[in-house]
Chains A and B, each alone.
Chain A
Amino acid sequence: MKAWRRPRAEPAEPVPADTIESLMARLDAAAQVRLGRTLAIRHVNTGSCNGCELELRALSNVLYDLERFGLRFVDTPRHADILLVTGPLTRNLRVALEQAWDATPDPKWVIAVGDCAIDGGLFKESYAVLGGTGLSVPVDLTISGCPPSPTQVLAGLRALLEVNAR
């Protein structure tokens, strides 16, 4: 099959205009513009089933090739511009999320990835779950899906990049 003999990153779709607009508004509010078109991402799991992680890991495969957009995953929130949050916010991980948020330098963005991170998803009625990421830290962008496909996550991240470059 051709695809694996000569793998090449796929052409990326244009970023939806309304996503950029809504993010621009937030960035203006922050009144800061970062230099360069590179963003560091820290993943934070707040109770995921690991399905969302599977798709985040897929972002580094050669077909999506996250790094060509200047996006890379980092190991510590201290070096991060973006917190990519997956999973319903469990009571047992709330503190860990808040610590990660506190440790991330300003300006920072929080993206809630997946239906669980948006509002608790299927688990919102549980005694062990608070709800979505937004109950604990401010969220800038949500990407729905269970789990969202790598293409959807990539579109969201690139929207942030566009904003960042303006």
Chain B
Amino acid sequence: MTGEPAARATDVEGEAPPPGRPPLRHMLSPQDWIATAQTAAEDSWVLLAHWAEPAAVHALYLDPATPGVVPVSIAIEAGAYPALSPLLPAAALYERMILDLFGHVPGGAVDPRPWLDHGAWPSEHPMAAPSAPRTDRPAPAARAEQPDAMILPLGPIGRPIGEAALLRLTLDGPVIRRADSRLGFTHKGTLALMRNKSPRTAARFAARLSGDATVAHGLAFAEAAETAVGTAAPPRAARLRVVMLELERIAGHLDTIAEVSRLAGAASMRAACQLLREILLRACHFAFGHRLMMDCVVPGGVAVDLTPDGASALLQALGAVAARLPALRRDHEGVVPGARLSGTGRAGRALAESLGVGGVAGRAAGRAFDARVGFMPGYRTLAVTPAVRPAGDAAARQAVRIAEIGASLRLVSSVLEPLPPGPLTVALPQVCGEGIGCAESIRGDVWHWLRIDHGQITAAFPRDPGWALWPLATALLQDSVTDDVELIRASLALPASGMDL
């Protein structure tokens, strides 16, 4: 970035921060807030997260050159702040969330429509201090459609055993001319529930942001809390976290591959992946006491140790996955899924970068970002090579998932034996501080930010990869055909709950 913005460092202190995480957050003037966004747009910085508190708005950028993250803030003046969305399209959904929850008006925003607020909450702006009683906010005018346009609404509970979200497709015959998304159906008020709780209590909410990424969210939250109070998980806990996160990745990728295979008509591949996933979840239950390892990562360490035969049960299950992997790879390259997947839902690298799409969707479009490389302290001594494909389509995403299952299998096996001895948790000191934590989930990088005041959380924000995936999905659906909608959704593993907060 050219010329550091005039910055006033805030109150964050502590030990040496984890790699890639800064000890400082810059309070910016409105001019510098916009100048930073301009530089971000020019220098390919990525907007990782954008959130608020009652008196300020924050943004977290990734500088791929360092690489490192840069948190910046701006104070709210007269209920408003300058919107980032005219410069950074990735900011648009966050701005709608910030307006709904806090009432801060993003001046000049590209999209003023509500996002989480569907008019059903008892008060408006429930996170504002004090929150306002509901007045009838005039519904913003719907976008002008051609008078004869055919609209196809999908959702919010239309899908078989899936997450709740609404897609509104404007059709021209079978071709989708415009795709619009509406989320917030599963909004559970998580940010308010986390406030005024100890990190240990609030961790239960972090673990329930997204069930299939419960370890990732739990881990990123725990590391944010540990950074905030200047401590770190003990070595054995750090290793067990890696084991859990990689197990979650294998199980999650198998689930997504199974769902994509079902839609692509590859029934045997689907059955094989479902079975392998079940074998793995049973081993997780045996080893850690919970099939999804929910609540197993806690601030300060991990809540459970491996059961005595846990390691061998896990290795046996991983062996079953490894034995089947070559066949999966072959099946994937076979005619049936290949013809259906190649070219479907093709994302370009520039689009993925501008929206900050990471994870499988980003890597399958040539963006090599993986939070495990350089951003997660637990992986500092482990070799992770991001699996990157250039094609950007559903076939490439499937290929990346298969490659990552193989890599995770190797990673878990190398970490499991031997595990370092020692305690599972450290106590968190009752101090004040601010911290950022991250983890690479099955869908991409998860970031958690929080502030602790004498042992109590005063503000927090979790950034789920969904914030980047939904704008990507609506862009990919445009000019696709209706027959491909479910396949594109499944192949991006589009979430809802994690970003519904």
Contacts and interface: CB of A to CB of B under 8 A. Distances in A.
Interface of A: 1, 3-4, 7, 43-58, 60-64, 73, 75, 87-88, 90-94, 96-97, 100, 122-123, 125-129, 146-147, 149
A64 B193 CA distance: 36
A159 to B, nearest CB: 21
Nearest to B323: A1
A88 B184 CA distance: 14
Interface in B194-216: 204-205, 208-212, 214
Contact of A128 (B163, B187, B205, B278): B187
Contacts of B122: 127
B164 A51 contact: no
B161 A92 contact: no
B272 A128 contact: no
A128 B126 contact: yes
B319 interface: yes
A97 B279 CA distance: 33
Contacts of A100: 157
Contact of B188 (A52, A90, A96): A90
B162 to A, nearest CB: 7
A49 B279 contact: no
B290 to A, nearest CB: 9
Contacts of B118: 91-92
Contact of B281 (A46, A47, A58, A129): A58
Tell me which of B214, B278, B292 has the highest count of chain A C-beta atoms within 10 A of its own C-beta. Answer: B278
Given A1-B320, A90-B185, A92-B185, A127 B123 contact: yes
Contacts of B481: none
Contacts of B184: 92
B277 A126 contact: no
B386 interface: no
Interface string B275-297: 11111010001000001101000
Contact of B120 (A4, A56, A91, A147): A91
Contact of B294 (A47, A51, A62, A91): A51
A97 B186 CA distance: 12
B6 interface: no
Given A54-B211, A61-B274, A63-B275, A94 B188 contact: no
Interface of B: 118, 120-123, 126, 156-158, 160-164, 184-190, 192-193, 204-205, 208-212, 214, 255, 271-272, 274-279, 281, 285, 291-292, 294, 316-317, 319-320, 323-324, 495-497
B189 A96 contact: no
A90 B165 CA distance: 13
Given A4-B279, A61-B275, A63-B278, 7 more contacts: A1-B323, A49-B497, A90-B187, A96-B156, A127-B189, A128-B187, A129-B189
B121 A91 contact: yes
A127 B131 CA distance: 11
Nearest to A91: B120
A52 B294 CA distance: 12
Contacts of B163: 45, 48, 50, 53
A123 B285 CA distance: 25
Contacts of A60: 274
B188 A58 contact: no
A46 B163 CA distance: 9
Nearest to A56: B161
